[in-house]
Amino acid sequence: MSVPATRLFDLLDKQLAEFPQEVCIATKEQGVWRNHRTADVVQTAEKLALGLMQLGIGPGDRVAIASGNRSEWCITDQALLRIGAINVPIYPTSSVEDYAYILNHAGVRVFFASNAELHGKAEAAAASVPSLQHLFTFDQLDGLPHWTLLLGAGERQRDKLEEYKARVKGSDLATIIYTSGTTGRPKGVMLSHANILSNVHASEERLPVATGSRCISFLPLCHIYERMLMYLYQCTGMNIHFQESLDDLGARIKEVRPHVFTAVPRLLEKIYDSILAKGEALSGIKRKLFLLSLHVGENYEVQGKGPWYKLQHALVGRLVFSKWREALGGEVLCVASGSAALQPRLARIFNAASIPLMEGYGLTETSPVISVNDARNDGLRFGSVGRPITGVQVRIAVDGEILVQGPNVMMGYYNQPELTAEVLDTEGWLHTGDIGRLDPDGFLYIPDRKKEIFKTSGGKYVAPQVIENKLRASRFIEQAMVIGENRKFPAALIVPSFAFVKDYCALKGIPYGSNAQVVRQPAIIARIQQEVDTANEGLGHWEQVKKFALLSSDWSIDGGEFTPSLKLRRKPILAKYAQEVEAIYGIA
Give CA angle at 338 (335, 340), nearest 5°.
135
CB 568 within 8 A of CB 182: yes
d(CA 204, CA 232): 7
DSSP code string of 82-104: HHT-EEEE--TTS-HHHHHHHHH
* Cβ burial 416-428 (10 Å sphere, 16+ → b, else e): eeeebeebbeeee
Q: Which of 193, 178, 206, 210 is nearest to 93 (CA)?
A: 178
* Beta strand 334-337 pairing with 357-362: parallel
d(CA 94, CA 113): 13
CA 574 to mean position of chain CA atoms: 24
* Tens-digit pLDDT string for the chain (588 aa): 566 799 999 999 999 999 999 999 999 998 899 999 999 999 999 999 999 999 999 999 999 999 999 999 999 999 999 999 999 999 998 889 889 999 999 999 999 999 999 999 999 999 999 999 999 999 999 999 999 999 978 788 999 999 999 999 999 999 999 986 555 688 999 999 999 999 999 999 999 999 999 999 999 999 999 999 999 999 999 999 999 988 888 899 999 999 999 998 878 888 888 888 888 888 999 999 999 999 999 999 988 788 999 999 999 999 999 999 999 999 999 999 987 778 888 999 999 999 999 999 999 999 999 999 999 889 999 999 999 999 999 999 999 999 999 999 999 999 999 999 999 999 999 999 898 999 999 999 998 666 778 888 887 878 888 899 889 989 899 999 999 988 989 999 999 999 999 999 999 999 999 999 999 999 999 999 999 999 999 888 889 999 999 999 999 888 889 887 778 888 899 999 999 999 999 853
Global confidence as pTM: 0.85
CB 548 within 8 A of CB 493: yes
DSSP code string of 269-332: HHHHHHHHHHHHT--HHHHHHHHHHHHHHHT--TT---HHHHHHHHHHIIIIIHHHHHHTTS--
Q: Which of 92, 94, 98, 89 is nearest to 116 (CA)?
A: 92
CB 473 within 8 A of CB 549: no
